[in-house]
Amino acid sequence: FAKELEKRTREFAVRIIKISTRLPNTPEGRVVRNQLTKAGTSVGANYREANRARSKADFRNKIKICESESSETQF
């Protein structure tokens, strides 16, 4: 399950980057592009970190970060 979700988060990041390149090259578009790219790519990075957590509490914390970052991409 962990490897499958890791693969899906990587694919999600690639899709986010592709979508963000379609945003207008305006000051507003650049702000949205930067935030969307940061949030979308950090989901996978934080998920990888969660799978390497040193404790259950650390794992839960990193998963919560994943949840928060993925939520930001929906805004």
pLDDT in tens, 14-64: 999 999 999 999 999 999 999 999 988 999 999 999 999 999 999 999 999
Model confidence at 1: pLDDT above 80: no
pLDDT of residue 13: 94
How many domains does the chain divide into?
Answer: 1
The 10 Å Cβ neighbour count of residue 61 is 14
Coil/strand/helix, residue 22: coil
pLDDT of residue 57: 95
CB 40 within 8 A of CB 10: no
Residue 22, domain extent: 2-74
- CATH at 48: 1.20.1440.60
Model confidence at 75: pLDDT above 90: no
